[in-house]
């Protein structure tokens, strides 16, 4: 990897390969991915966390204290 890092980096950043697994002592040690792929993973993780939070909050939703979308929009007109 040390001798061919530049070429391998170009393969990942050009889209030729989506990722590159880097081994140390015959064991996977790291993964090299492009910035766009990393950002997509971060965005997906953020969406999943938000969805999980929404699911958790739905279980404790108090229907009597809930405001409809129409009522909420009317408050801010």
Average pLDDT over residues 5-23: 89
The mean per-residue pLDDT over the stretch 51-55 comes to 95
Instruction: Quote the pLDDT of residue 1.
Output: 67
CB-based contacts of 20: which residues, under 8 Å, 6+ apart?
A: 8, 11, 12, 31, 32, 33
pLDDT, position 4:
86
pTM over 0.85: no
């Amino acid at each position: 990897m040390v001798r061919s890092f530049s070429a391998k980096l170009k393969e990942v950043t050009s889209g030729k390969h989506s990722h590159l697994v880097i081994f140390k002592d015959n064991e996977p040690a790291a993964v090299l991915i492009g910035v766009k792929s990393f950002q997509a993973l971060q965005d997906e993780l953020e969406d999943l966390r938000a969805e999980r939070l929404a699911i958790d909050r739905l279980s404790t939703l108090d229907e009597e204290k809930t405001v409809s979308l129409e009522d909420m929009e009317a408050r801010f007109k």
